[in-house]
């Protein structure tokens, strides 16, 4: 099961690739209103929208990460450019 993206992670990833909401929403095939609501926490992201956004971010070489801890809680969640070689000690989400 893929972890659902939070509004903060979506906003950070969008900033990293330098894409505005309108362009990201269009590329992902979702509405700009839905994207805005996800980013602002007004609405939880759906599994389908999550998949569509992740596909766009993956095409842009974006990786979502968190501390490598045993719990299901996301600790130290963030976003980065996907490295050419995976690093140990970092959990991808």
CA–CA separation, 90 vs 21, rounded Å?
28
Domain boundaries, the chain: 7-92
42-87: pLDDT as tens digits: 999 999 999 999 999 999 999 998 766 565 555 668 898 988 776 6
What does the pLDDT read at residue 32?
Answer: 98
Q: Do 30 and 52 contact (CB within 8 A), yes or no? A: yes
Residue 15 corresponds to which tokens in the numbers above? 């900033």
Backbone angles phi, psi at 91, to 5 degrees: -95, 130
Rounded average pLDDT over 6-28: 97
pLDDT at site 85: 73
Residue 82's φ and ψ, nearest 5 degrees, are -65, 125
pTM for the full predicted model: 0.83
Could you tell me the two tokens for 30?
A: 């979702």
CATH number of this structure's domain 7-92: 1.10.260.40
Say what the pLDDT of residue 73 is: 59
């Amino acid at each position: 099961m893929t972890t659902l993206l939070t509004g903060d992670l979506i906003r950070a990833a969008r900033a990293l690739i330098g894409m505005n909401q309108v362009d990201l929403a269009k590329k992902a095939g979702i509405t700009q209103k839905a994207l805005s609501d996800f980013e602002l926490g007004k609405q939880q992201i759906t599994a389908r929208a999550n998949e569509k956004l992740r596909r766009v971010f993956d095409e842009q070489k974006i990786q979502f990460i968190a501390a490598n801890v045993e719990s299901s809680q996301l600790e130290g969640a963030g976003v980065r450019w996907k490295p050419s070689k995976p690093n140990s000690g970092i959990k991808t989400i």
